Amino acid sequence: MNKKNQFTYTVYYENTDSSGLTYHTTYLEFAERARSEILSLHFPDVINNLKKNTFFFVVKDLSISFLKPSFLFDKLTVKTEFENNSLASLKLKQKIYNSENKICNIAVHLAWIDGKKKKPSRIPNNIISRFKLI
């Protein structure tokens, strides 16, 4: 696992119910934030395309397994790994840990969209090759 693709977030009050238990949507928010961090660190060209609405990734499919709960002020680490790709999409695995304990598994399938045509498009090879390194 590339340590550059590990991001730690604190569970704040806004992320919990009145008992201090983390909302299920918080895990999705932290996973999305980690994917955005990866784009920011490794894919400035994708960020530029996204800002121009020319090409971008969208979530095609997502599955999540909640293994253990987390609570107010826990520090959660999101680890992201490349799984595989097709011509117009890629799959990532994201695992969320509380200390050394894995608490959540997320599988996300991202489609590469042509913003002008509003349909899937072939992902450039230089983007796929960089994702394979994460």
Active site members: 17
Give the helix/strand (H/E) hosting 18.
none
Tokens 């790994």 — which residue?
Answer: 81
Question: Based on the number of CB atoms within 10 Å of its own CB, is 96 exposed (0-12), middle (13-18) or buried (19 or more)?
Answer: buried
Q: State which amino acid sits at residue 4.
A: K
Beta carbons within 8 Å of 31's beta carbon, 6+ residues apart? 78, 80, 94, 96, 106, 108
